[in-house]
Amino acid sequence: MAAATKDAVLSAAGDLARQFAVELAEHPSDVGEYVGAVAEGERLVSHRFACAATGYQGWQWTVTVARVPRGRVATVCEAVLLPGDGAILSPEWLPWSERLRPGDIGPGDVVPFRADDPRLEPGWTPTGDDELDSVAIEGLALARVRVLSRDGRDAAATRWYTGSQGPTSAGALAAADACLSCGFLVPLQGALGTVYGVCANEWSPDDGRVVGLEHGCGAHSETDTEPHASDWPEPSAAIDDLDIELVTLGAPATAVPADDATSDGVPVPEAPVDEAPVDEAPVDAAPVDAAPADDVPSDDESVDDESARTSQ
């Protein structure tokens, strides 16, 4: 390709280039001041104008013009919007599978399959040896297509150790005892079980999470706090004079006659009396003694007494 040289015809085609830039822009005002011309090659020059559109700071309208040999007329080859120095650019494009970060997966989302995931390696393939297969499948739980590789275990161990469930967290530094001696720790299997376990204490902030054996919190199974008296003052007794309690009294006791009561005032019930039939128990009439004759006033004395009272 021939070296780019200054071309007077093409360098003077700035007005033609602006015309095409205005046609390309959404609004004529989006084409700003003239920035300059750049020789792209022999008989090939690009004219640039600042972009005034919102969101395109630092971008430039670029219109490239050319001419045929010995020609005196410029022809527009292309008109585009290109980033200039200090232009605001979008991040470098990455595939969706590479843009995902921990915490981006929600309910219903599915992570694309990665056949070459460095964190995994092929699982156990049965060998036909019953003893060897039993240890691998039942003891080591390797009956899966893929299992954690060394890189996967190392990455998980480092992430957990330096995270909030490791020995360097604020809660672990303030704890009195480590998770290693806590009764709520459920150890993991395999190589990670020598350093980590799962917390099963509902009162712990790490319940259901993987914690390091050197981690700790205030819900340790073997720790306690000294009893502390209340900082609140002792409340004083308060009497509410306006609070009236209505009490219903019982009915007054009935007085018992003296004849119907014993010496201590307890009434004695009357004993039933058996009445004999008339024909079985005849009653003999008691003899009546006749009064003396001299005790009975005579008719004459009664009259005399009445006459005396009348005369008086």
Q: What is the side-by-side strand order in the sheet with 75-83?
A: 31-41, 44-51, 59-66, 75-83
How many CB atoms within 10 Å of residue 218? 14
Buried-exposed string 78-108: b where 16+ CB fall within 10 A, e elsewhere = ebebeeeeeeeeeeeeeeeeeeeeeeeeeee
Query: Does the pLDDT at position 140 exceed 90?
Result: no
How many CB atoms within 10 Å of residue 145? 9
Taking only the tens place, the pLDDT of each residue in 209-251 is: 999 999 999 889 988 777 777 778 777 777 766 777 778 887 7
Query: Does the pLDDT at position 46 exceed 90?
Result: yes
C-alpha 115: how far from its chain's center? 37
Query: Does the pLDDT at position 41 exceed 80?
Result: yes
Across the range 254-265, mean pLDDT stands at: 54
Taking only the tens place, the pLDDT of each residue in 144-193 is: 778 889 999 999 999 999 988 899 888 888 888 899 999 999 998 888 88
Question: CA quadruple 128, 129, 130, 136: dihedral positive or negative?
Answer: negative
Query: Is residue 214 a contact partner of residue 168, using CB atoms and an 8 Å limit?
Result: no
C-alpha 274: how far from its chain's center? 87
Query: Is residue 180 a contact partner of residue 213, using CB atoms and an 8 Å limit?
Result: yes
SS3 131: helix
Q: Which residues pair with 146 in a beta bridge?
A: 122
What integer pLDDT is reported at residue 191 of this predicted model?
84
Query: Is residue 74 a contact partner of residue 16, using CB atoms and an 8 Å limit?
Result: yes
- CATH number belonging to the domain at 8-83, selected among 1.10.3470, 3.30.70, 1.10.1740, 3.10.450: 3.10.450
What integer pLDDT is reported at residue 274 of this predicted model?
53
Query: Does the pLDDT at position 132 exceed 60?
Result: yes
Query: Is residue 21 a contact partner of residue 35, using CB atoms and an 8 Å limit?
Result: no
Taking only the tens place, the pLDDT of each residue in 94-106 is: 887 778 887 887 8
Dihedral (C-alpha) 272, 274, 275, 279: value to the nearest 10 degrees?
180
Which of the two residues, 111 and 169, has the higher pLDDT score?
A: 169
Q: Annotate 205-234 with DSSP letters as a single string.
A: TTTTSEEETT---TT-TT--------SSPP
For the chain, the average pLDDT equals: 79
What integer pLDDT is reported at residue 7 of this predicted model?
82
What integer pLDDT is reported at residue 273 of this predicted model?
52
How many CB atoms within 10 Å of residue 246? 4
What integer pLDDT is reported at residue 269 of this predicted model?
55
Lowest-pLDDT choice from 76-80, 119-123, 228-232: 228-232
Taking only the tens place, the pLDDT of each residue in 286-309 is: 454 544 444 545 444 444 554 444
What integer pLDDT is reported at residue 55 of this predicted model?
86
Distance separating alpha carbons of residues 219 and 203, to the nearest angstrom: 6
| Size of the chain, expressed as the number of residues it contains | 312
Give ranges for CATH 3.10.450 in the chain.
Answer: 8-83
- When pLDDT is cut at 50, 70 and 90, the band that residue 16 belongs to is very high
Query: Is residue 165 a contact partner of residue 211, using CB atoms and an 8 Å limit?
Result: yes
Query: Does the pLDDT at position 264 exceed 60?
Result: no
- When pLDDT is cut at 50, 70 and 90, the band that residue 74 belongs to is very high
Helices in the chain by DSSP H: which ranges?
8-11, 14-24, 96-99, 130-134, 150-162, 170-174, 299-311
* Amino acid at the residue 55: G
Q: What percent of the chain has pLDDT over 90?
A: 28
Question: What tokens does 10 get?
Answer: 């093409």
What integer pLDDT is reported at residue 306 of this predicted model?
46
Which of the two residues, 304 and 65, has the higher pLDDT score?
A: 65
Query: Does the pLDDT at position 1 exceed 60?
Result: no
Lowest-pLDDT choice from 112-116, 167-171, 245-249, 274-278: 274-278
How many CB atoms within 10 Å of residue 16? 17
Query: Is residue 198 a contact partner of residue 208, using CB atoms and an 8 Å limit?
Result: yes
Query: Does the pLDDT at position 93 exceed 70?
Result: yes
Query: Does the pLDDT at position 66 exceed 70?
Result: yes
